[in-house]
Structure 1
Amino acid sequence: MKFEDKHAGNGSLLEEGQQYLGEKYQANGKPVANGRGEVSVKQEANGKCGMPRKSLNVYSWQEIQKHNQEADQWLVINRKVYDVTGWANRHPGGSQVLNHCAGEDATDIFRAMHQDLDLVKLYLKPLLIGELSPEEPSQERNKSPQLVEDFQELRRTLEAMNMFSVNPVFFFLLFTQILILETLALLMVWHFGSGWLVTVFISLLLAISQVQCFFLQHDFGHLCVFTKSKWNHLMQKIVMSHFKGLSTSWWNYRHSQHHVKTNIYPKDPDVDMGALFVLGELQPVKFGKKKIRYINYEKQHLYFYMVGLPLLTPVYFNLASMQMMYLRRYWADIAWVSSFYIRHFITFGPFYGIFGTILLIYFVKFLESPWVTLVTQMSHVPMKMNKEENQDWLSTQVLATCNVEQSFFNDWFTGHQNFQIEHHLFPIMPRHNYHKVAPLVRSLCAQHGLQYVKKPLLEAFGDIARALKKSAALWMDAYYETGSRVSTSTHM
């Protein structure tokens, strides 16, 4: 079956991100005049733009959804169908990201994760195999067209407000903060020596620096702060690998999956804690029914405080990073991470020796770990975790994330990860703009009956343990077959 479209199909990818439809808003939320004509997806599909091109195969959603296996992966982006099977292993975000979205409409996911559409267009051209049949909706039939349209309208509004524009001074000041902390630590040991009290102060300064490095590399991992992305990648390697001693490839591989399929088990690696914890409602029942008991999950909220908080960074992050670098032969990452240890041996080795410097490094990571763990887990562990339901982008992210109240301290302490809803909806938006877009996001959620969760910082910390206790109760009911809390709907 062929369908003759009359405009350049390969250009539609860019057009989707550049069109501004409907009413626009200023930063204060007031409407402003729309400067561009309205171009709908239906017009695009029916060829009303007047530019000739060759005919394309057309497909139904039923046919597209069959191509959802690792060896057969199709995606729909802006009504165009792409076969990404052969490209998956070369995808910069990792093959798993594409595999997780195979057989689905990935328009909003694609737009959320990619900054340079001109560059990505070049990669997509040879992968184009067709388009949706004109009678097919732009999204799968289980999604609300109005909700999807309203979210895409919000994104165009935010683009018109320049909310995706980076303020380089903001990130320069963040990086300067790290340099000051590192310099103070060096000056203290050079001036006062390596006494235990000095060592404690040095460790605290370095731990604060490590946390701020973690937040800043997270920004560089998402943003194109400078004019060319290679500078952004270089800055992430400097901050993550040289200052923190972790692999950027490992982090980006995991974090891309987390953003694309947030809190979806087992696609999001952050909700698969292996033998240590059971999370959400589905995984505990699965483990319980199969009589899986690696630890006493009834006490997992206590294990979280005793094991999870102090050991996430010095043990789990470091082992996972080293494992990936070694197994996949990431030589560049190995060199960058080695520079972290070499720098410490040069600067602190004369005072502590080799063994003492290693102890200092991991004592700092031990101090850093509770801070990073609480901040990264508070917005996801207490929220909905489910198997794949292929919901729209807005619903998926809002149900799986929550915000923490804004204050100067909360913003700094969390690295602006107290705005997780906005960050997950718009990962490439610089964090200094989150508070500006939050009212518009909250308004859209209210319009569609989605709960926009915001809570105090300490309550968010406490909700981690409360969620773990709730999951433990589900595991116990399934394990001991009491049936008091388990229903057939929770089976995976």
Structure 2
Amino acid sequence: MTTATASATVAHLTPADYEAIARELDALREEITADLGERDAAYIHRVIRWQRGLEIGGRALLMASSLPPAWLAGTATLAVAKILENMEIGHNVMHGQWDWMRDPKIHSTTWEWDNVSPAGQWKHSHNVVHHTNTNIVGRDNDVGYGILRVSAEQGWHPANLPQPLVNLLLAMFFEYGVAVHDLEIDKVLAGRNDPEETRAKLRAIGRKIRRQWAKDYLVFPLLSGPQFGSTLAANFTANVVRNVWAHMIIFCGHFPGDVEFFTAERLDAETRGEWYVRQLLGSANISGGPLLHLMSGNLSHQIEHHLFPDLPSNRYAEIAPRVRALCERYGLPYHTGPLARQVGSTWKKIVRYAFPGPRRSAPEPSAPVREPAAA
């Protein structure tokens, strides 16, 4: 990373600091990896049992969905089950966090989640593109998901004006936005895509949508007999609730006002330590209790997830204090705050960048510059 591409937030760090940060975080990874075992396996099996029990219970309640109490209870229970499946189970299993167990039923190569996005396409757009290029404008397609302006490094266009409304619609139907994410619509519109590859991806998306719609909007409503209409509405509502929750958690981990974005020059000869620091600067946590962490898929520890995306999510809470202490020693920001504050900060940014504003080509400081810390 050259001086020109370094944020003022990290201008005080020396090459020796970056090397020390890399050694410490690599050692932390190795320590946790060596300690994985029975309690971790028991955790993911327990969460899967809870999730499946909730889904069965929710769908059973919806057999009487014509009764308002049963509709509300069934919809809420099914929504919680879908959130758990997508966030704490599906997202993390497909990251390979549980591949070390060598269980073919809980493995990144076999898991297909309850979502209209095909697992294979999600793993490419998320695990490969996003986690490699975190917050690199023009490289990380998760920066605004290709339709929102969320940083000063992005140019403004009149199409950005309605983005608060666009973001609201994206939240409600987030799984469909995720489904088309790997298509890289900007390349398709510019004619820089491979047409056959795009058609193949669209066919896969179509198959997954048909499968999900058949389950939620045909089979289970039919099984409820005369409650068909109310069960269909309940399933739709549960999906929207899941989508809004997932959108909120993910956006709060990536776009609150204090995170930084970078230009592609940042990647020039980027060292391991510089990669780690980019994850620290470009991520934000959500403070809260165990229930929030569970329901967020532990993406409330987004900083730790970006540092160690393939470590089991149940370990992020114990890693977090050590990561925060490292940040304090090296004068680095550790972005965190309660859910309400992170939501407000994210929406404030989305509204602000809907309008024209100065565009910059390199990050500005998001924290005071401090003297170098001892390794």
Match of 2:85 among 195, 213, 223: 213
Question: Number of residues paired by the alignment?
Answer: 325
Q: Determine helix, strand or coil for the equivalent of 2:92.
A: helix
Q: 1:385 aligns with which of 242, 261, 272?
A: 261
**Following TM superposition, by how much is the alpha carbon of 1:380 offset from its aligned partner in structure 2, in angstroms?**
0.9
Question: Are 1:280 and 1:386, in contact at CA under 8 Å, matched by a contact in 2?
Answer: no
For 1:287-366, list aligned pairs within 5 A. Answer: 287=156, 292-296=157-161, 300-301=163-164, 303-304=166-167, 306-313=168-175, 315-318=176-179, 327-328=199-200, 339-344=211-216, 345-351=218-224, 359-366=233-240
The one-letter code sitting in structure 1 at the alignment partner of 2:102 is: K
CA-based RMSD of the aligned residues comes to: 3.4
Alpha-carbon spacing, 1:162–1:226, altered in 2? closer, same or farther (3 Å): closer
Aligned to 1:224, which of 92, 98, 120? 98
Task: Give the match for residue 398 of structure 1.
Answer: 280
Larger Rg: 1
> Does the aligned pair in 2 maintain the 1:164–1:428 contact within 8 Å?
no
* One-letter amino acid of the structure 1 residue matched with residue 224 of structure 2: F
Cα distance, 1:147–1:186 mapped onto 2, change above 3 Å: same
- 2:131 equivalent in structure 1: 259
State the alpha-carbon separation in 1 of the partners of residues 232 and 225 from structure 2: 9
Question: SS at the partner of 1:476?
Answer: coil
Distance in 1 between residues matched to 2:165 and 2:203, nearest whole Å: 39
Pair 356,448 (structure 1): closer, same or farther in 2 beyond 3 Å: same
Question: Which structure has the highest strand share of the two?
Answer: 1
Task: Using structure 1 for the length normalisation, give the TM-score.
Answer: 0.58
Counterpart residue type for residue 364 of structure 1: A
Match of 2:189 in 1: none
Query: Which residue does 1:418 correspond to in 2?
Result: 300
CA distance in 2, matches of 1:293, 1:372: 28
Q: How does 1:56-205 map to 2 (within 5 A)?
A: 144-162=15-33, 165=36, 167-190=40-63, 192-205=64-77
Q: Deviations over 1:36-88 (max 9, x none)?
A: xxxxxxxxxxxxxxxxxxxxxxxxx9xxxxxxxxxxxxxxxxxxxxxxxxxxx
**Residue 236 (str. 1) matches residue 116 (str. 2):** no
Give, in whole Å, the separation in 1 of the partners of 2:362 and 2:324.
30
Question: How many angstroms does 1:323 deviate by?
Answer: 10
Structure 2 length as normaliser, TM-score? 0.75
Write the distance in 2 (CA, Å) between the matches of 1:164 and 1:339.
39
Q: Give the structure with the higher percent helix.
A: 2
Name the % identity: 18
User: Cα distance 1:205–1:427, how it changes in 2: closer, same or farther (>3 A)?
Assistant: same
Structure 2 distance, partners of 1:163, 1:441, is 18
Q: Deviations over 1:391-430 (max 9, x none)?
A: 5112110010011224123212322111111111111111
Q: Secondary structure at the match of 2:25?
A: helix
Q: Which has the higher contact order (CA 8 A, sep 6+)?
A: 2
Compared CA separation, residues 352 and 253, structure 1 to 2 (3 A): farther
Which stretches in structure 1 are left out of the alignment for 5+ residues? 1-60, 62-141, 478-484
CA distance in 2, matches of 1:352, 1:326: 39
User: Could you tell me which amino acid in structure 2 is paired with residue 296 of structure 1?
Assistant: L
Q: Deviation digits for residues 179-215 of structure 1, max 9, x if unmatched?
A: 111111222133x254455333322222111111111
How much does 1:326 deviate? 7.5
Report if aligned partners of 2:60, 2:74 keep a CA contact under 8 Å in 1: no
Q: Deviations over 1:121-175 (max 9, x none)?
A: xxxxxxxxxxxxxxxxxxxxx9824413432343224423546625111111111
Conserved 8 A contact 2:152-2:359: no
Q: Any unmatched runs of 5+ in structure 2? A: 2-12, 186-196, 364-375
Whether contact under 8 Å (1:248, 1:333) holds in the other structure is no
Q: 1:174 to 1:225 in 2, by over 3 A?
A: farther
